[in-house]
């Protein structure tokens, strides 16, 4: 990709307020969007996330009613993604999940895995003082996955809209009742609708570069 093409992708992505409900994202392209999340960076590589992809019309309708920031977007989008973060106990250095990540996913030898756990342990109670810090830490990683998915989508001319405006408790209940969420392990962080725009996007309005960047040469 050259610089103009990259700029086109960056300008293409916008918070799409209404999707063309007749257009579906093709499975192969959707998979690449999801790869954007799966392959995203995460602190110490712990991937503290899970993505629920809702294609089902009835569930989208139900969810749109508890997401006040995205009623139209959710009911018209092709796919609605709910980003779940691992709970604090899941990402503690002595958890079964961390053991699985280090040994089964990263295939680290026992001594390296123990060293990593020791490193993680040193953060607990210091940098990450309590469960609230641990939960924010997991949530932060999810936003990186979200951003990576939105940019992957934009590269494929797929539109998106982050939806943070929601009744999290009500959304959680719907997912728990459907057996889609185990609150012992995960909690809802944010959501995003993907699809194809119905209307043209307005031009991007942003602060000038010199307001947001400080150079040190
Ligand atoms: C964390 C977060 C939550 C957001 N929640 C909503 C939302 O509930 N509804 C909505 O229409 N847009 C939502 N947005 C989109 C922003 O309003 C939008 O990104 C911002 O105004 C910049 O516009 P642009 O994305 O079109 O460039 C959210 C964005 C972020 C990053």
Domains of the chain: 3-212 (3.40.109.10)
| Structure token pair of residue 132 | 């609230």
Q: Is 164 in the pocket of ligand 1 (CB under 6 A)?
A: yes
Ligand 1 center from residue 205 Cα (angstroms)? 13
Provide mean pLDDT across the span 7-13.
97
Q: Which residues contact 125 (CB under 8 A, 6 or more apart)?
A: none
Name the maximum alpha-carbon separation found in the chain: 56
From the CA of 73, give the closest atom in ligand 1. Answer: 11
C-alpha pair distances (Å), 193 with each of 170, 207, 210? 18, 26, 32
Ligand 1 center from residue 110 Cα (angstroms)? 43
Q: Is 69 in the pocket of ligand 1 (CB under 6 A)?
A: yes
Strand partners, 75: none
Ligand 1 pocket test target in 145, 164, 198 with most atoms within 8 Å of CB: 164
* Each residue's pLDDT tens digit, 125-178: 888 999 999 999 999 999 999 999 999 999 999 999 999 999 999 999 999 999
Q: Could you tell me where the DSSP H helices lie in the chain?
A: 3-12, 27-38, 57-64, 71-76, 96-99, 110-123, 131-155, 168-177, 209-212
Q: What is the DSSP string of 110-158?
A: HHHHHHHHHHHHHHBTTTB-SHHHHHHHHHHHHHHHHHHHHHHHHHTT-
* Each residue's pLDDT tens digit, 104-122: 999 999 999 999 999 999 9
Residue ID of nearest Cα to ligand 1 atom 9: 69
Q: Which residues contact 32 (CB under 8 A, 6 or more apart)?
A: 152, 156
Distance CA 29, CA 26 (A): 5
């Amino acid at each position: 990709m050259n610089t103009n093409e990259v700029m086109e992708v960056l300008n293409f992505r916008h918070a799409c307020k209404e999707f063309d409900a007749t257009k579906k994202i093709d499975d192969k392209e959707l998979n690449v969007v999801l790869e954007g999340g799966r392959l995203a960076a995460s602190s110490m590589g712990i991937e503290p996330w899970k993505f629920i992809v809702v294609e089902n019309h009835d569930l989208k309708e139900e969810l749109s009613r508890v997401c006040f920031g995205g009623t139209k977007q959710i009911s018209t989008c092709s796919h609605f993604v709910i980003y779940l973060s691992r709970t604090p106990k899941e990402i503690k250095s002595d958890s079964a999940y961390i053991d699985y990540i280090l040994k089964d996913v990263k295939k680290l030898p026992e001594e390296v895995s123990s060293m990593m756990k020791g490193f993680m342990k040193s953060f607990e109670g210091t940098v990450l003082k309590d469960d609230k810090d641990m939960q924010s830490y997991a949530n932060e990683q999810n936003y990186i996955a979200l951003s990576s998915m939105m940019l992957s989508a934009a590269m494929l001319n797929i539109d998106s809209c982050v939806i943070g405006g929601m009744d999290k408790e009500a959304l959680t209940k719907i997912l728990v009742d459907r057996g889609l969420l185990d609150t012992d392990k995960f909690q809802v962080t944010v959501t995003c609708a993907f699809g194809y725009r119905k209307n043209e996007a307005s031009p991007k309005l942003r602060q000038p570069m010199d307001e947001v960047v400080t150079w040190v040469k």
